[in-house]
């Protein structure tokens, strides 16, 4: 005798998914997509626009024509001997239309005193030290970049550190010193 088992008629509407293969609820999918979109927006947005002050507003260039129209040659000579206090003289704002630091020339300035030398910088490796490796002159340290339309102020590390305080700073690369050579 054969026993036939009849399969129950089933409709496609009442069918349950097999165990272990439950579909994700729509709310979980929406939550994951929103979190991904938020992270994508966060990492593609400029960090400086998220902070209250912009670290790129250093106002580094003054229009050369403005400086010539307000200073005589005598005052200009006195200005070279007495450096400007850029901490208080922060009235010039960088304008890329007037001040292009990409166009200019290297000029020799014997009155320019470098911020450090090969012997005073503890971060300069001996293999990259010109003086230690036998270079007798130090005139190469007195060359500075002179943009065509700007007067660049001298770098002031105290002001830079104050403007970077509380900000995030990231260096890209395995070694900045070796990577720049």
Cβ distance 92 to 63 under 8 Å? yes
pLDDT at 48 (0 to 100): 46
pLDDT of residue 80: 46
Residue count of the chain: 181
- The pLDDT averaged over each successive group of 10 residues in the chain (181 residues) is 53 58 81 90 61 46 44 44 45 63 87 78 77 81 83 80 88 60 46
- 3-class state of residue 164 by DSSP: helix
Q: Please state, rounded to an integer, the average pLDDT across all residues of the chain.
A: 68
Q: What pLDDT shows up at residue 20? A: 60
User: What token pair was written down for 159?
Assistant: 């002001």
């Amino acid at each position: 005798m054969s026993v036939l088992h009849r399969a129950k008629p089933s409709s496609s509407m009442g069918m349950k998914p097999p165990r272990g293969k439950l579909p994700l609820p729509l709310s979980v999918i929406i939550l994951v997509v929103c979190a991904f979109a938020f992270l994508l927006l966060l990492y593609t947005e400029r960090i400086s626009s998220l902070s209250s002050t912009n670290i790129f507003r250093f106002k580094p260039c003054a229009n050369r024509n403005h400086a010539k129209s307000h200073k005589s040659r005598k005052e200009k000579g006195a200005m070279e001997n007495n450096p400007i206090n850029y901490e208080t003289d922060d009235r010039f704002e960088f304008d890329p239309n007037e001040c292009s630091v990409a166009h200019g020339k290297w000029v020799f300035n014997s009155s320019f005193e470098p911020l450090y030398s090969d012997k005073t910088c503890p971060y300069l490796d001996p293999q990259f030290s010109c003086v230690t490796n036998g270079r007798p002159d130090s005139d190469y340290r007195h060359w500075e970049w002179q943009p065509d339309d700007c007067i660049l102020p001298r770098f002031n590390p105290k002001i830079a550190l104050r403007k970077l305080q509380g900000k995030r700073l990231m260096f890209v690369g395995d070694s900045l010193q070796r990577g720049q050579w």
